[in-house]
Structure 1
């Protein structure tokens, strides 16, 4: 039985300067004798030859590679694969194998040029939710004395590290993982083959998940503060690892000074119609701030990101 693998992402896609390299993996009996890459340039169909690679990506798998020029054409590149035998042919598309040429919208598609960093495609990422990943051996007791959550409607719950997970208290349940705990686990992650970390939000916020940002310029003390983040970045650099932080810029927490639902003295938009940040949020006729859809008890207030001043502050 013939099997094929392709998605318009790494490792099947690679951009080098003005060329897009596209790879198809195949396995099974009766492999095709030839494969062509059907592509489009400004709605004109192209048939481009693909070459079988000598190196197998996996045992029992063969790889074919073709390329598309990015020097001209529309940003959205559409393509599919035509597999040829001596007496028949088949097409491979996102829907699988077919005997007939696919319609335009049934082909693979990728938008290029991509202004994102090219190093991302070659990384093995490990996503970390800091509170649940690792509690550092030298954790300061003061880090466990700063838990609070204004809008959860439930008491703070502090768990021992080995306590089982439950749905109790939601965003107000804390286990005490921190950034130094991540640093201590870097040798283990490197042994797994991890080359880059993706951290869920780490900046100051009352909840365990930290998507309700209270201060974009300060790492949450529960995680060890700014110094712990600097230590982690230094340690990841020494380990040859990249690190990405989850930036939450389309909404703030309701305790952020811009919104200040709980009236901590910042003159926030949540209670002051004359607040300098009032236009940064969307309000109903009754004056209630718009919250994220589906979160009726949300502690997150959605920002109107088209306001020029708001964009500047989030850079």
Structure 2
């Protein structure tokens, strides 16, 4: 047995409560040991009774990646003070795994020194689910390029013809009324959630450099337009999530301009991270997003900044009843601030979702006290490697999908925003060589993978596009250009997510005879997806 591969961490993604009555326990081993028939049991009990009374349960092999196997069991418990060790059996020999590591025997009389423990399940330490997330299919809209709905607004800012290829600074004229106008279309697609890129006052077309966080950009409309959008969306069973750009702001924001003018004498000097007593825009002696001097970084460790941003977070819930926030550049903002943010948002609206933008393993932010989930770009990468780049075959794709699931607790997995592309990537359809069957297969996988699918606007009409800004083209509303067979197939696939088995079902992802086989099981029902190649799949629904 490869004891170096053994890993278990109490009170982590390896041990977490789903409720005060149910706990998930995971153990990592070497994959070759699992394949050789390693058997795992958990010996558990109540903390203060363990020496005399113990219970044993088998821990099934659940997930495998390239290096490791993960055994997982859900324990139903009657006492919130859980302790346990593992029994491993290899070739008829039994071993024990505890805080002392792997041993040939175990002394229960001195167990209080070295058993694993979940010492007490406090109710407010159980990460709650946003119950509507697992059954939602999101549609991401880059507002300026989706639809012009207000024909009477000032059009003087529009500097491109609708449908022309965009440049980084072009404005096409899309607005909130355009989204309201197309809500029935969006609903008919099978969409139940809309994620909007930023809509607050800004000089850019993308609005990620915000001047005024409490003002809807006039190019997009008014506060009344947002209120109507949310209200009309809710009438159709559609949630609305806005983009929170709290890592940085515009260099035209009043507070930053005050620092430009007064330097260290400004009351807002500590709102930003400045090297020196005065701002020097040419030398850029202040921190900013990436290398963009027009996007100065906000100092989220500053109490004034915290109060300012938390007020914005709750303001738009009060004013427009939005359903959550997507957090731009979440990984560069302090964890301390996100803890405050979660408490403020959840106190205002308990089922508001908080989705971080983090392209990597974000476990430190996904432990229950910061974000509910992230944009799952790790999933995007797996799909690109399999469907577009041909870097991975079916077996490696299975390994990678399983590895992603093992990054987080179950609650997080079932709220992850699983996307094939976004405003920050090349269009997936372009990446896969405009192969509609590959797109169809990838969407099928996205419906079966645990979490919340998010489709970038125009995917249903096979929109193309290279890297930013080309991935931000205008939606083509000329139906004569649409492939209706593809459109209907997309609708058919999105509709799968209405089935509880694909929302809440337990998941198994395996390589079976050279195929990616995903089985979702729930309340005695089963759904099976088998992908034999990037262009070939079958679905069986026992519902």
TM-score computed with the length of structure 2 as normaliser: 0.36
User: Which of 293, 302, 307 is the equivalent residue of 2:302?
Assistant: 307
In the alignment, what sits opposite 2:207?
Answer: 210
Cα root mean square deviation, aligned? 4.0
Structure 2 residue 22 is the aligned partner of structure 1 residue 19 = yes
Query: Match of 2:307, SS?
Result: helix
Query: Match of 1:221, SS?
Result: coil
In the alignment, what sits opposite 1:123?
Answer: 136
Provide Cα deviations, 1:259-300, integer angstroms capped at 9, x if missing partner. 12xxxxxxx1123121111111011236345243532x4311
Q: How far does residue 244 in structure 1 lie from its aligned partner after superposition?
A: 0.7
User: Which of 253, 273, 279 is the equivalent residue of 1:282?
Assistant: 273
Q: In structure 1, what is the Cα distance between the partners aligned to 2:307 and 2:81? A: 34
Q: How does 1:43-192 map to 2 (within 5 A)?
A: 48=58, 67-68=74-75, 71=80, 113-114=126-127, 117-136=130-149, 138-142=150-154, 144-145=155-156, 147=157, 158-165=159-166, 168=167, 170=168, 172-192=169-189
Residues 293, 229 of structure 1: alpha-carbon distance in 2 compared, 3 angstrom cutoff: closer
The count of aligned residue pairs is: 222
In the alignment, what sits opposite 1:107?
Answer: none
In the alignment, what sits opposite 2:246?
Answer: 249
Q: How far does residue 164 in structure 1 lie from its aligned partner after superposition?
A: 2.5
Q: How far does residue 47 in structure 1 lie from its aligned partner after superposition?
A: 5.8
Q: In structure 2, what is the Cα distance between the partners aligned to 1:205 and 1:212? A: 6
Provide Cα deviations, 1:203-224, integer angstroms capped at 9, x if missing partner. 1111111111100111111001
Contact 1:37 1:66 in 2 (8 A): no
In the alignment, what sits opposite 1:201?
Answer: 198
Contact 2:144 2:174 in 1 (8 A): yes
Query: Match of 2:249, SS?
Result: strand
Query: Match of 2:215, SS?
Result: strand
In the alignment, what sits opposite 1:85?
Answer: none
Residues 210, 244 of structure 1: alpha-carbon distance in 2 compared, 3 angstrom cutoff: same
Unaligned runs of 5+ residues in structure 1 are 1-13, 23-31, 51-64, 75-111, 148-156, 261-267
Residues 294, 252 of structure 1: alpha-carbon distance in 2 compared, 3 angstrom cutoff: closer
Q: Where is the strand percentage greater, Structure 1 or Structure 2?
A: 1
Q: In structure 2, what is the Cα distance between the partners aligned to 1:177 and 1:20? A: 48
Residues 300, 49 of structure 1: alpha-carbon distance in 2 compared, 3 angstrom cutoff: same
Contact 1:204 1:220 in 2 (8 A): yes
Residues 284, 231 of structure 1: alpha-carbon distance in 2 compared, 3 angstrom cutoff: same
Contact 1:213 1:252 in 2 (8 A): yes
Q: In structure 1, what is the Cα distance between the partners aligned to 2:141 and 2:201? A: 17
Residues 275, 159 of structure 1: alpha-carbon distance in 2 compared, 3 angstrom cutoff: same
Q: How far does residue 177 in structure 1 lie from its aligned partner after superposition?
A: 0.5
Contact 2:200 2:217 in 1 (8 A): yes
In the alignment, what sits opposite 2:501?
Answer: none
Contact 1:125 1:194 in 2 (8 A): yes
Query: Match of 1:311, SS?
Result: helix
Contact 2:289 2:296 in 1 (8 A): no
Unaligned runs of 5+ residues in structure 2 are 1-16, 26-34, 45-55, 61-71, 84-124, 311-543
Contact 2:200 2:212 in 1 (8 A): yes
Query: Match of 1:191, SS?
Result: helix
Structure with greater contact order relative to length (CA < 8 Å, sep ≥ 6): 2
